[in-house]
Structure 1
Amino acid sequence: MSPWPYPRWIAHRGAGKLAPENTLAAFRLGAQHGYKMIECDVKLSADGVPFLLHDATLERTTDGQGTAGERPWIDLSRRDAGAWHSRQYAGETLPTLQAVARWCQANGVLLNIEIKPTPGTEAHTGGLVAREAARLWHGAPVPPLLTSFQVEALRAAQQAAPELPRGLLLDSLWHGWHSQAQALGCVALVCHHALWDSTLVAQARAAGWRMLSYTVNDAATADRLWALGTDGIITDRVDLFAPA
């Protein structure tokens, strides 16, 4: 396998559940707990601005309503993305990928970008996010890792910025996943932690893929994954696991 530049521990959506997910406040808290790599979700506004949000809709984590991808960035930028979590984060905004890139590079933090398209925009989102990531991290010593559950999004990312590393996210071992990961030129599989066993580890090693797991929040599961020889863990529990 080629050298792997990413750390073993990755903070989920910034700081898991300790701060409002996918905000710079969460990134800062994850970094304060010693995490050197953060996972986040990126989608597009209606006018093509890559920004951080997990859900297709705004209701759960902002004071907005409706499908986020149908709103222009000027509208999304005014949404409160912190008050839902706790009073101390009221007024926290949705960050753009550009703002996140600036923060990560200023603070020496690596990034796992999960491409999270609004349904129906998989190829458009994958291509645009990859091109923007390549521009923002141009010349950086370690590029972001692009991942997605959506094969179409990863294929578009591969075509738009083939130099950026890619990983296929899997919540089940669906028919054809192995050949798709090969065709996409993936460097990693990012699986729900329960999928990993000695058979899957052997398949990944034979293909030259690194092995990451989501979302691991207890020590027993983490110990099992390390014993299997996997390469990285995405966790909400930045307060429980010391990344060093």
Structure 2
Amino acid sequence: MRATSRAVPSDRLPEALRPHPDHIRTIAHRGDSSSAPENTIAAFDAAVAAGSDLIEIDVRITADGVPVIIHDGSALRTTGIDADVALTSSEALAAADAGSWFSPAFAGARVPTLAEVAEWGAAHPDIGWLVELKGPWTAAQLAGPVDAIRRHGLSGRTILQGFETQTVAAARDVAPDLPRALLVYGSVHFDELTGRLEELGAAGCNPTGQLPIEMPGLAVRLREAGYSVYPWTLDEPDEWGAAGVAGVDGVITNRPGRFRNWLALRWSPGAPALAS
């Protein structure tokens, strides 16, 4: 709870996505990627069925400038196309099978464009979006994705995030109304980190789940500084328990359904700890 009514960074978030002391949000990593092929419409359908609060997706740009939803720089693992996404046309990706690698039951699943996902999101108004921009982006490159988000009415429930300071800065410049979060992988001095967050006008900081071990108290200090905190990618009860004790606002997980069930059994608002 806040001691005063002063403005804090997480106030930049839409009301529906602001930290709530009695709720840890369930964030489906690449959709419900334990139940369906990651970053596909099938995975997003499964995330909704699992009761997720937000869906995390990865965005890259194809050779012809189309924003598509795919994690790896190479299309090989999920589509069988042995080429960089940045060097592959959107037409070639759209024709690829992005589901058979996961299970024959998903043969024919496709790599969706951001526009297609935004259209799907418009039909699911209760889902929030954590949109990771993979690699370095310029303000010019962000114009298309931002337009799709706004055009389909997702701007009030979307957070843009990235590892690259350049990318988050570009998001700040081209879409100051869309909240931003910085992804953090390795250890960093806390004052340096918060300085960077302040410069970027970020609302949140989303660290790898290993950082609380390397930097004890990180989540608590970030929360005290007013930032929302969504660690990633946590898939086991002991990890969920540690995150709850640390006071995070949400958990990014490949197992949203299991996490929701675990929360219902193990978590009560205001509890001093969460059992594993």
Partner of 2:66: 49
One-letter amino acid of the structure 2 residue matched with residue 164 of structure 1:
L
Alignment of 1:60-75 (within 5 A): 60-75=77-92
Structure number having the greater helix percentage = 2
| Distance apart, 1:199 and its partner CA | 3.1
Cα distance in 2, alignment partners of residues 37 and 136 from structure 1:
19
Partner of 2:195: 179
Decide whether the 8 Å contact of 1:130 with 1:161 is kept in 2: no
Q: What is the aligned counterpart of 2:240 among 202, 211, 222?
A: 222
Structure 1 144/163 Cα, relative in aligned 2: closer, same or farther at 3 Å?
Answer: same
Cα distance in 2, alignment partners of residues 126 and 36 from structure 1:
28
Decide whether the 8 Å contact of 1:217 with 1:236 is kept in 2: yes
| Distance apart, 1:198 and its partner CA | 5.4
Alignment of 1:58-207 (within 5 A): 58-108=75-125, 109-117=127-135, 121-123=136-138, 127-128=142-143, 130-138=145-153, 140=154, 142-174=156-188, 176-196=192-212, 199-207=217-225
Decide whether the 8 Å contact of 2:25 with 2:53 is kept in 1: no
Deviations 1:9-68 (A, max 9, x none): 100101123211000010011111111311010011112111100000011011212101
Structure 1 123/229 Cα, relative in aligned 2: closer, same or farther at 3 Å?
Answer: same
Structure 1 133/187 Cα, relative in aligned 2: closer, same or farther at 3 Å?
Answer: farther
Decide whether the 8 Å contact of 1:126 with 1:153 is kept in 2: no
The alignment covers a number of residue pairs equal to 240
One-letter amino acid of the structure 2 residue matched with residue 34 of structure 1:
G
TM-score by length of 1: 0.89
Specify every segment of 5 or more residues in structure 1 that has no aligned partner in the other structure, as ranges: none
TM-score by length of 2: 0.80
Answer with 162-171 or 3-12: which moved more. Answer: 3-12
Cα distance in 2, alignment partners of residues 158 and 8 from structure 1:
24
Partner of 2:21: none
Deviations 1:89-111 (A, max 9, x none): 01101001111111112022211
Structure 1 16/125 Cα, relative in aligned 2: closer, same or farther at 3 Å?
Answer: farther
What secondary structure is seen at the aligned counterpart in 1 of 2:176?
coil
Identity between Structure 1 and Structure 2 (%): 32
One-letter amino acid of the structure 2 residue matched with residue 101 of structure 1:
A
Specify every segment of 5 or more residues in structure 2 that has no aligned partner in the other structure, as ranges: 1-7, 18-23, 265-276
Q: Quick check: which has more Rg, 1 or 2? A: 2
